[in-house]
Chains A and B, each alone.
Chain A
Amino acid sequence: MTTAGRLRRALRGVGPPLLVGVGGLVAWELTVTLGRVAPFLLPAPSAIGTELVDNRAVIWQVGLASGANALVGLVAGAVLAILAAMVASRFDFLGEVAVPVAAALNALPIIALAPILNNMFESTSSIPRRSVVAIVVFFPVFLNTLRGLREIDPVHRELMTSYAATGWTFTRLVRLPGALPFVFTGLRQASSLAVIAAVVAEYFGGRQDGLGSRITSAASYTAYPRAWAFVVGACVLGLVFYLAALGLERLTMPWRARRSG
């Protein structure tokens, strides 16, 4: 494809959502300024933008802290989930028991564990927030990976039997690569959840050096545009995580990206 053609296609993909986004912002600004909406109800985008620029150093710094929490929790939770799914898929009984149990645990508001975890550790510890993230991340990754590991093309199974390939060889050559698309579906869901959990966990005490604490403190000082500026920061962080997961997926599975060729 030519560079011009690629550019045109990218524009066609990005253009419409960009247009809707900008249009929305303009409508928002007009509604707030012309409709005289109280700033504690809804600050104007321009006010939020000013706060964003003024506080960019702080937002960057607390964003990094929250990002680190989300990343550590995400990696820990995902690794545990993938290992657990591999174990569960090896034993039919475990796999059958694990799915309903995981689904039931997943229905718990895991964020509600934050105050309990906070009390377990010192107030300067980052472990509680990261644990909350890891637990939140665990379920989508575990359930998706397990499904992927169990769903094996019967033709692949027969072929590997005909090659006399069993055990770890079979897992390495068929199960794991076959499960990758499912793992990444789980990771994509988990990446956004990780940021939400890392931010929200701070609402319940513990160490206060991330985005969550800034949102609550700005709100309690009735500095609503500033609170919104931090919310925007959290939003961007979530987007970065999601895009990183998407990029990793593309890199790891080139056979999917090149399908159209």
Chain B
Amino acid sequence: MTTTEHEPAVEITGVTKVFNPGRPDRVTALTGVDLTVRRGEFVSLIGPSGCGKSTLLRLVADLIPVSEGTVRVAGKPARTARLDREYGIAFQQAGLFEWRTVQRNVELPLELRGTGRRERRVRAREMLELVGLADFAGHYPAQLSGGMQQRVAIARALAVHPPLLLMDEPFGALDEMTRERLQDELLRVCARTGTSTIFVTHSIPEAVYLSDRVVVMSARPGRITAEIDIELAQRNETTRQTAEFFAGITRVRQALRGGPAAQRPDEAGPVGEAEPADPAVSR
């Protein structure tokens, strides 16, 4: 691989994205976005609908082209990185191939990289064990629940051991219990493999729990309005009850409302504030 260890995982410089340029339905989705994700760092993108966080993720994945600016992944242009298969990706919909068994779904990206049959099998097996679905390797996706399908999709994204993981609200459609368990699983995997992650979410607690840094965005036009470093001593079940966790939530919420943190001390961290979704976010 041609990547150097010193390059950041992702480097976004002066990026603007305009959909339908020169037409009446022209939309400026993002303007002047700068963002750097260090190696091994977990960064969440959060903001109201239409703030362009999914668009930003797709620009990094080179699923859509930038209008202005540059996106570099692992030190290369985004397109080269995509063709070199430098990242794994998971979406809100699991997007499993219903005609493949769970095992063969996880094997697909490996198959496309020309990995040998035996190694494919071993790696897929290993990833399914990681997400706790080893017993379902021979099942078809339609036989699994939504949460299980999503775990398969995550196993599939991780199977190639990508240096970068891109996730677009992967837990958005799941119930709160499953969601929290998968968050823990994801953290464990990322810690073990040293994967850098960009994680799009609507949920403030989720962003705070998972991230080293939460990037707050706002809409019309989409831009980054704040970057909040999260320092939690540890991340496990008890973390969700700690004062530092609630403090993180409060900081992100205040950033989302656009006010500087110091202006709203009255909102600092009572337990009742830790609701999953802020109305200001879902609006």
Contact surface of A with B, Cβ cutoff 8 Å: 153, 155-156, 158-159, 161-165, 169, 173-174, 177-178, 180, 253-256, 258-259, 261
With a cutoff of 8 Å between Cβ atoms, the chain B residues found around residue A253 in the complex are: 99
Q: How far is the CA of A258 from the CA of B87 in the complex (A)?
A: 33
Of the residues B91, B139, B140, B141, contact of A158 by C-beta under 8 Å: B91
- In the bound complex, do residue B112 and residue A156 qualify as a contact, i.e. CB atoms below 8 Å apart? no
- In the bound complex, do residue A163 and residue B85 qualify as a contact, i.e. CB atoms below 8 Å apart? yes
Given contact pairs A177-B97, A255-B140, enumerate 6 new A-B contacts (beta carbons under 8 Å).
A158-B63, A163-B112, A164-B85, A178-B99, A258-B142, A259-B142
Write out, one digit per residue, whether chain B residues 73-100 have a CB within 8 A of any chain A CB (1) or not (0): 0000000001101010101010101111
- From residue B91, how far is it (CB to closest CB) to chain A in Å? 5
Of the residues B91, B99, B112, contact of A169 by C-beta under 8 Å: B112
Instruction: List the 10 closest A-B pairs by CB distance, nearest first.
Output: A155-B95, A255-B140, A177-B99, A259-B142, A162-B89, A164-B83, A163-B112, A155-B93, A255-B99, A261-B143
Q: Report if B109 contacts A (CB, 8 A).
A: yes
Q: How far is the CA of A52 from the CA of B63 in the complex (A)?
A: 65
For window 214-229 of B, CB contacts with A under 8 Å fall at: none
Q: How far is the CA of A161 from the CA of B58 in the complex (A)?
A: 11
Interface of B is mostly: loop
With a cutoff of 8 Å between Cβ atoms, the chain B residues found around residue A178 in the complex are: 99
- From residue B93, how far is it (CB to closest CB) to chain A in Å? 5
Q: Report if B210 contacts A (CB, 8 A).
A: no
- In the bound complex, do residue A162 and residue B63 qualify as a contact, i.e. CB atoms below 8 Å apart? yes
Q: Tell me how many residue pairs across A and B have CB atoms closer than 8 Å.
A: 57
Q: Report if B190 contacts A (CB, 8 A).
A: no
With a cutoff of 8 Å between Cβ atoms, the chain B residues found around residue A177 in the complex are: 97, 99
Q: What residue of chain A has the Cβ atom nearest to residue B101's Cβ?
A: A255
With a cutoff of 8 Å between Cβ atoms, the chain B residues found around residue A165 in the complex are: 112
Q: Report if B61 contacts A (CB, 8 A).
A: yes
Q: Known contacts being A163-B112, A164-B83, is A255 close to B61, with CB within 8 Å? A: no
Q: Report if B124 contacts A (CB, 8 A).
A: no
Q: What residue of chain A has the Cβ atom nearest to residue B113's Cβ?
A: A163
Q: How far is the CA of A128 from the CA of B108 in the complex (A)?
A: 46
Q: How far is the CA of A174 from the CA of B109 in the complex (A)?
A: 13
Q: How far is the CA of A256 from the CA of B141 in the complex (A)?
A: 10
Q: What are 5 A-B interface contacts by the 8 Å CB criterion? A: A155-B93, A158-B58, A158-B63, A178-B99, A255-B100
Of the residues B99, B108, B140, contact of A180 by C-beta under 8 Å: B99
Q: How far is the CA of A253 from the CA of B89 in the complex (A)?
A: 27
- In the bound complex, do residue B143 and residue A259 qualify as a contact, i.e. CB atoms below 8 Å apart? yes
Q: What residue of chain A has the Cβ atom nearest to residue B99's Cβ?
A: A177
- In the bound complex, do residue B95 and residue A164 qualify as a contact, i.e. CB atoms below 8 Å apart? no
- From residue B135, how far is it (CB to closest CB) to chain A in Å? 13
Q: How far is the CA of A178 from the CA of B63 in the complex (A)?
A: 21
- In the bound complex, do residue B140 and residue A258 qualify as a contact, i.e. CB atoms below 8 Å apart? yes
Q: What residue of chain B has the Cβ atom nearest to residue A163's Cβ?
A: B112
With a cutoff of 8 Å between Cβ atoms, the chain A residues found around residue B62 in the complex are: 161
- In the bound complex, do residue B95 and residue A159 qualify as a contact, i.e. CB atoms below 8 Å apart? yes
Interface centre among B93, B98, B141 (most CB of A within 10 A): B98
- In the bound complex, do residue A255 and residue B95 qualify as a contact, i.e. CB atoms below 8 Å apart? no
Q: How far is the CA of A163 from the CA of B162 in the complex (A)?
A: 12
With a cutoff of 8 Å between Cβ atoms, the chain A residues found around residue B87 in the complex are: 162
- In the bound complex, do residue B91 and residue A155 qualify as a contact, i.e. CB atoms below 8 Å apart? yes
Q: What residue of chain B has the Cβ atom nearest to residue A160's Cβ?
A: B112
- From residue B123, how far is it (CB to closest CB) to chain A in Å? 15
For window 49-71 of B, CB contacts with A under 8 Å fall at: 58, 61-63
- From residue B267, how far is it (CB to closest CB) to chain A in Å? 38
With a cutoff of 8 Å between Cβ atoms, the chain A residues found around residue B85 in the complex are: 163-164
- From residue A182, how far is it (CB to closest CB) to chain B in Å? 13
- In the bound complex, do residue A161 and residue B63 qualify as a contact, i.e. CB atoms below 8 Å apart? yes
Interface centre among B82, B109, B140 (most CB of A within 10 A): B140
- From residue B127, how far is it (CB to closest CB) to chain A in Å? 16
- In the bound complex, do residue A159 and residue B82 qualify as a contact, i.e. CB atoms below 8 Å apart? no
Q: How far is the CA of A256 from the CA of B140 in the complex (A)?
A: 9
With a cutoff of 8 Å between Cβ atoms, the chain A residues found around residue B143 in the complex are: 258-259, 261
Q: How far is the CA of A163 from the CA of B89 in the complex (A)?
A: 9
Q: How far is the CA of A161 from the CA of B109 in the complex (A)?
A: 11
Q: How far is the CA of A4 from the CA of B179 in the complex (A)?
A: 41
Q: How far is the CA of A261 from the CA of B93 in the complex (A)?
A: 22
Q: What residue of chain A has the Cβ atom nearest to residue B90's Cβ?
A: A159
Of the residues A158, A174, A258, contact of B97 by C-beta under 8 Å: A174
- From residue B173, how far is it (CB to closest CB) to chain A in Å? 12
Q: What residue of chain A has the Cβ atom nearest to residue B142's Cβ?
A: A259
Q: Known contacts being A162-B87, A165-B112, is A255 close to B98, with CB within 8 Å? A: yes
- From residue A257, how far is it (CB to closest CB) to chain B in Å? 9
Q: How far is the CA of A152 from the CA of B83 in the complex (A)?
A: 22
Q: How far is the CA of A224 from the CA of B61 in the complex (A)?
A: 72
Q: How far is the CA of A174 from the CA of B143 in the complex (A)?
A: 20
Q: What residue of chain A has the Cβ atom nearest to residue B143's Cβ?
A: A261
Interface centre among A163, A165, A177, A258 (most CB of B within 10 A): A163
Q: How far is the CA of A256 from the CA of B142 in the complex (A)?
A: 8
Write out, one digit per residue, whether chain B residues 95-119 have a CB within 8 A of any chain A CB (1) or not (0): 1011110000000110010000000
